[in-house]
Chains A and B, each alone.
Chain A
Amino acid sequence: MKTYITGIGTTSVGEHWDKSLRDLALEAAHQALTDAKRSPDEIGGVWVGSMLSGELSGQSHLGAQIAGLLGIVAPSVRVEGACASGGLAVAQARNALLAGESKPVLVIGVEKMTDHTATEVTGALMQAADHEAEGVFGVTFPALYALLAKAHMEAFGTTRAHLSAVSVKNHANAMHNPKAQFHKEVSQEQVELAPRIADPLTLLDCSPISDGAAALVLEVEPTDRSVELAGIGIGTDTVDLASRASLVELAATRRAAERAYRVADVTPQEIDLAEVHDCFTIAEVLAIEDLGFVEKGEGGRATARGVTAREGRIPVNVSGGLKASGHPVGATGVKQLCELTLQLRGEAEARQVQGAEVALAQNVGGSGGTAVVSILKRI
C-alpha cells in the first residue's frame, strides 16, 4: 500500500505575540485541509505533535482539544518525542493508513515558545534530556551539542570555520523563504564573533526560539498534486549522552535512515535534496554523514566546499533549515515535509531545486535519542 501527502499548510515562523498555541495549530490545519480539498467531516484521525504545550502554554490533552476546535470527532492523539514530535506524529498517522484506515488523516505539529524568557525555555527544553543523568545537573542542550562538536573536531579535524559554513549557508537560503524566521545573511566572522552559548558554539550556531505550526493531510489515494510519502524510519538511542557507544555519530539517525531507505527502496545517492535537523550547526554536519550523503568525518569539509549548497551536489536545508527558518520544536518535523512537498510539486518559487524527484527529511529528538527519517517521491 502507498501513502500520499495530499495537502499541506504552514504558518510563518517567528515571534507571533498575537497568536496562541491553538491559533497557530488551526491556521496550519485549515490551510492543509483547504489544500487537500477536504472538509473536517471527511477526516479519519488526527495526530498532533507538540513537545512543550503543557510546560509553556499550560495545555495538555492537545489531541482532543485541536480536533474539537476543528470540528473533527474522529480519533485524535497527541504525540511527544521532544523535537522529533512532529516527525513521529507523521509516522503514527501513516501507520494508521497502513493498518487499514481508509479516510484521509490529518497531522499537525505546533509549538508556542516565545511567551517565555530564554532561561525558562532553556529549562523546558532540558526535559528532552535524561533528567536524572543530565537535566538535574543543569546540562543544557547547547552544552550537549557542544560536546558532540568537540568530539567531531578532535576525531576528524573539523574546524570552527566548517561549523560556520552551515550557518552561513542556511541564513543565505532563508533569504528565499518568505515564511522563514530570519531574512538576514550572516558572514563567517559574524558567526564566530557572536556571543558564546556553549563553546565552541555561538549564538549563530544555534536554532532560535520560535512559534509556528505545520499540518499535512495523508491519504491512500493520490490526487493530481500529491507527493508520495514512500517511507519513514524511526531510530532510537540512549537519551543520555554519556551512555552512547559513539559520540561522532547520531546512531538513531543511521538506524532510522537504514529503515527509510529500505522501505522507500532508494539509496542516499538518489536523494535530490534534504531538509535535516540543524538545531545546532554540528547537527547538520553529523546528519549529512549519518544519512550517507558524505563519508563519516567529511561533513564539515563538504559543507565548506559547497556540496550541500542550493546549487551543490546534494542541496541541504534549502528552506534555511532550523537555524534560519526557525525551530518551533513540535512543528519542525511536519514543516520539513511541507517544505519538501512544495519542492517536489515544483511550487518552491525562488528556492526551487530544478528537477527534484526524491527528497529526504531528518527530524531529531533531544541530542539524538530519537530520529525520524522520511522519504518523499514525486509521482
Chain B
Amino acid sequence: MTFVPAPELARSHGHHVRLEGGFCSSSGCGATTLPYKNICSACGCKMNPHVFEPRGTVLYTTTVVTPPPGFEERTPYVIGLIELEEGGRLLAHIVDSGTEIESGVRVEGVVRRLYDRNDGGPLHYAMAFRVTTRS
C-alpha cells in the first residue's frame, strides 16, 4: 500500500475517525455496514446512515511484526476483530493495552494517528481501540 492520497483521506474521514456506517432500514433484517454503503447486501433494502458508538468487545487479536509500507515505525502493532455493542464488526488497531489481550474483553474507541508520512502530506488518523479500564 502507498500512502492514502488526500482526497481519499477526506472522503473516508467519517468512517476512519467516527465509525460512520449504517443499519438496514428493513425492520426484520438487522444488518449493519461499516464503512457505509447505501444498499443492504443481505436484503436489498436501503441502509440508514448511523454513527456507531465506539464501544465493543474483542473477538480475536494478533500482533503484526511484518508491516506494509508506512507502518514500519508503529510496528509491532495489534490488530483486533471487534464486535461493537450496537452490532456489526470491524478490524481495528488496539493500542495502549499490550499484546496479550483476551477474547471477550471490553474496548473503547480512541482516535490515533496511524502513521506520520514525514513528507508534508496529510496525516492519517483513525479510530483505534483500547481495553476499557472504567467499569
Q: Which residues of A contact B71 (CB under 8 A)?
A: 138
CB pair B114–A138 under 8 Å, yes or no, is yes
Q: Which residues of A contact B130 (CB under 8 A)?
A: none
Instruction: Out of B62, B90, B115, name the residue touching A198 (CB < 8 Å).
Output: B62
> Which has the most chain B C-beta neighbours within 10 Å: A133, A140, A146, A154?
A140
CB pair A142–B66 under 8 Å, yes or no, is yes
CB pair A138–B15 under 8 Å, yes or no, is no
Question: CB of B93 within 8 A of chain A?
Answer: yes
> Which has the most chain A C-beta neighbours within 10 Å: B35, B79, B89, B114?
B79
Question: CB of B123 within 8 A of chain A?
Answer: no
Instruction: Out of B2, B34, B66, B92, name the residue touching A137 (CB < 8 Å).
Output: B92
CB pair A140–B64 under 8 Å, yes or no, is yes
CB pair B65–A133 under 8 Å, yes or no, is no
Within 8 A of B (CB), among A238-280: 238, 240-243, 247
Question: CB of A143 within 8 A of chain B?
Answer: yes
- Pick the interface stretch among A114-122, A166-174, A223-231, A330-338: A114-122
CB pair A147–B81 under 8 Å, yes or no, is yes
Question: CB of B44 within 8 A of chain A?
Answer: no
CB pair B35–A119 under 8 Å, yes or no, is no
Question: CB of A150 within 8 A of chain B?
Answer: yes
With A133-B34, A133-B90, A242-B90 in contact, is A140–B81 under 8 Å at CB? no
Within 8 A of B (CB), among A113-164: 118-120, 122-123, 126-127, 131-140, 142-143, 146-147, 150-151, 154
Chain B interface size range: 35 or more
> Which has the most chain A C-beta neighbours within 10 Å: B67, B77, B91?
B91
Per-position binary interface string of chain A over residues 197-236, scored 1 when its CB falls under 8 Å from any chain B CB and 0 otherwise: 1111100000000000000000000000000000000000
Q: Which residues of B contact A135 (CB under 8 A)?
A: 1
A-B contact count (CB 8 A): 107
CB pair B68–A123 under 8 Å, yes or no, is yes
Within 8 A of A (CB), among B52-88: 59-72, 77, 79, 81
Q: Which residues of A contact B69 (CB under 8 A)?
A: 119-120, 123
Question: CB of B26 within 8 A of chain A?
Answer: no
CB pair B60–A151 under 8 Å, yes or no, is yes
Question: CB of B95 within 8 A of chain A?
Answer: no
Question: CB of B103 within 8 A of chain A?
Answer: yes
CB pair B35–A122 under 8 Å, yes or no, is no
Question: CB of B12 within 8 A of chain A?
Answer: yes
Question: CB of B17 within 8 A of chain A?
Answer: no
Question: CB of B110 within 8 A of chain A?
Answer: no
Question: CB of A196 within 8 A of chain B?
Answer: yes
**Closest partner residue, chain A, to B90 (CB atom):** A242
With A133-B91, A242-B91 in contact, is A119–B66 under 8 Å at CB? yes
CB pair A199–B79 under 8 Å, yes or no, is no
Per-position binary interface string of chain B over residues 2-35, scored 1 when its CB falls under 8 Å from any chain A CB and 0 otherwise: 1010000000100110000000000000000011
CB pair B35–A139 under 8 Å, yes or no, is no
Question: CB of B131 within 8 A of chain A?
Answer: no
Question: CB of B107 within 8 A of chain A?
Answer: no
> Which has the most chain B C-beta neighbours within 10 Å: A123, A131, A142, A201?
A123
Q: Which residues of B contact A198 (CB under 8 A)?
A: 62-66, 79
CB pair A143–B12 under 8 Å, yes or no, is no
Pick the 3 closest A-B CB pairs, nearest first. A123-B68, A146-B62, A150-B60
Name 8 extra pairs, CB < 8 A, besides A131-B1, A137-B93, A198-B65: A119-B66, A122-B68, A127-B1, A132-B15, A133-B35, A138-B79, A150-B61, A242-B90
Q: Pull 24 A–B residue pairs with CB atoms less than 8 Å apart, ordered by A.
A: A118-B66, A122-B67, A122-B68, A123-B1, A126-B1, A126-B68, A133-B90, A133-B91, A135-B1, A137-B91, A137-B114, A147-B60, A147-B61, A150-B61, A151-B59, A195-B65, A197-B66, A198-B63, A198-B64, A199-B62, A199-B99, A200-B62, A242-B81, A247-B60
